[in-house]
Amino acid sequence: MGGTKMAPGNTLQELRKLGQSIWLDFIRRTLVTSGELQQLVDAGLRGMTSNPTIFEKAIAGSSDYDEALRKALAADPVIDTVTLYERLAIEDIQMAAGVLRPVYDSTSGADGFVSFEVAPDLAYNTQVTLSEARRLWKVIARPNLMIKVPATREGIVAVETLIAEGINVNVTLMFSLAHYEAVAQAYIRGIEKNKNPQGVASVASFFVSRVDTMVDKELERNGSPDALALRGKAAIANSRIVYHRFQELFESPRFKKLQERGAQVQRPLWASTGTKNPVYSDVLYVDELIGPHTVNTLPPATLEAFRDHGAVKLTLTGRLEEARQVLAGLPKAGIDLAAITETLQSQGVTLFADSYKQLLTALDAKRKKIADAR
């Protein structure tokens, strides 16, 4: 990451006053060992997310891990590559969890989390996802860990069980209101089955910019003035509709009863919030999605940009009608948002699985190089 710039005023602390936590969508060993993560936490960072693509870039794309690799291979020359990757990744997660633990403690377990994903090739297997999530929860053994589980049909079944068992879950790869509805209902059912609900936390990771990337292509293909006027608007409208549903579900009498037993709301987490289209503001998906009980996880460049020139004001509430109008305009332009969001979810699973395979291949190459050198 390197030399994160301090902003005039403290935007991250200002966001906290509006009820939003900023997490970092990035992990790498030197970020923790250099003290940079601690500096960000001191400045108001409240958590951290990782995924197979982030780990692939960190481990395969840097020499940060070479020393740890040499040590692991010296101790166990026949260690399999998956175990080797896991050992490196888990060390990172545990170290980051250590830095964020004071945030977790000071918020009584409402914030200060680090997320780690079950292997992405398990996205369509409920039982193996469950056993892997339980194993990782035990092995990493940090109360401020969140296990990431994708919002596939099979993943959602696992989420309900994990929440009932008291395991913190970050439910990921949501793109539509239908995905969100299924996830929130699974969380509420899990909490209803949990004997000690105050001990568990969850976020619903809703992906933003990828929706615009795909919808904008279709709008440009249409080419009419009405279609072109909708560019860059679908993702934010989609997210605001989800936020409205979040408010309905978690302010309902059904959930109020659970809150009396100590249950926390499952906060929406805005993911994929780096701007992909250079025509749009580099902080578009931060500025436009600020509201109470939310998290936004930002890649390093977006975090720096927001701290430099982000606008801190409530933008999620009071914009529902506008959001509905944007989404109502899409079918008129020939856009099937439901079909697009299903495609995005299956693509998301594939992208993470590909990154995971590439990571294991790169690790294999590194271990051969170390063995040859010895």
Whole-angstrom distance, CA of residue 159 vs CA of residue 181: 13
Contact status, residue 194 vs residue 159, Cβ threshold 8 Å = no
Dihedral angle computed from the Cα positions of residues 79, 80, 84 and 86, in that order, rounded to the nearest 10 degrees: -130
The gap between the terminal CA atoms of the chain, to the nearest Å, is 32
Contact status, residue 91 vs residue 64, Cβ threshold 8 Å = no
| Chain-centroid distance, C-alpha 34 | 24
> DSSP class of residue 263?
P
Specify whether 5 is catalytic: no
Contact status, residue 187 vs residue 158, Cβ threshold 8 Å = no
Q: Catalytic pick from 5, 148, 256, 366?
A: 148
Segments in the chain forming alpha helices (H): 11-17, 29-33, 36-42, 52-55, 66-75, 81-106, 126-140, 153-164, 177-193, 209-222, 225-228, 234-250, 253-260, 284-287, 300-309, 320-332, 337-373
Dihedral angle computed from the Cα positions of residues 80, 55, 360 and 90, in that order, rounded to the nearest 10 degrees: 10
Q: How many CB atoms lie within 10 A of CB 38?
A: 16
Burial of 211 per CB tally in 10 Å (0-12, 13-18, 19+): buried
Angle at 2 between CA 88 and CA 48, to 5 degrees: 50
Phi, psi of 170 (to 5 degrees): -105, 105
Q: Which residues are catalytic?
A: 148
